[in-house]
Amino acid sequence: MRRGPEGQSLERAQALVWWDPNFVNPPDPKTGKPVPHGKWVGYDTPDFAATKAPDAQPKPDGIALDALSGTQPFIMRADGRGWLFVPAGLMDGPLPTHYEPHESPVHNLLYKQQSSPVHKVWSLGKP
């Protein structure tokens, strides 16, 4: 989903979360200090602090969530970002291989193998 400069979805009909700048946050429970107004609200929960504003800048020496701005991806890996290509660990390339489901009537046009090699078919009477 594309986001505008204020954190709003550019596709309004698809907005699952959005920034509400008027949301009144309770005081910080640890310190009792007031927290600035604003919160991500909607039908989903962001993976970073819900009160991180869209204009929040990452810390230069930040690690994980502190290294993210307020407009970076919600789905995160260990480094706090979404990945399209995986740097290590996949055996079938930078993107996962697509296999048709076992019961699919459609022939897999991408690969010679029709279904996943780890797929198991259980038969009655066999352990």
pLDDT value, residue 65: 77
Average of per-residue pLDDT across 20-32: 88
Answer yes or no: are the C-beta atoms of 57 and 69 closer than 8 Å. Answer: yes
For residues 117 and 107, give the distance between their C-alpha atoms in angstroms, rounded to a whole number: 16
Retrieve residue 45's tokens: 């929960």
- Classify the phi-psi angles of 5: left when phi > 0, otherwise alpha if psi is within -120 to 50, otherwise beta: alpha
Q: To the nearest whole percent, how much of the chain has pLDDT over 90? A: 1
| pLDDT score at 82 | 65
Residues near 7 by beta carbon (within 8 Å), at least 6 away in sequence: 18, 19, 40, 53, 54, 70, 71
In terms of average pLDDT, the best of 38-47, 49-58, 96-105, 110-119 is 49-58
> Each residue of 48-104: pLDDT tens digit?
788 888 888 988 888 877 887 887 756 666 666 666 666 666 665 556 677 778 788
pLDDT at 63: 80
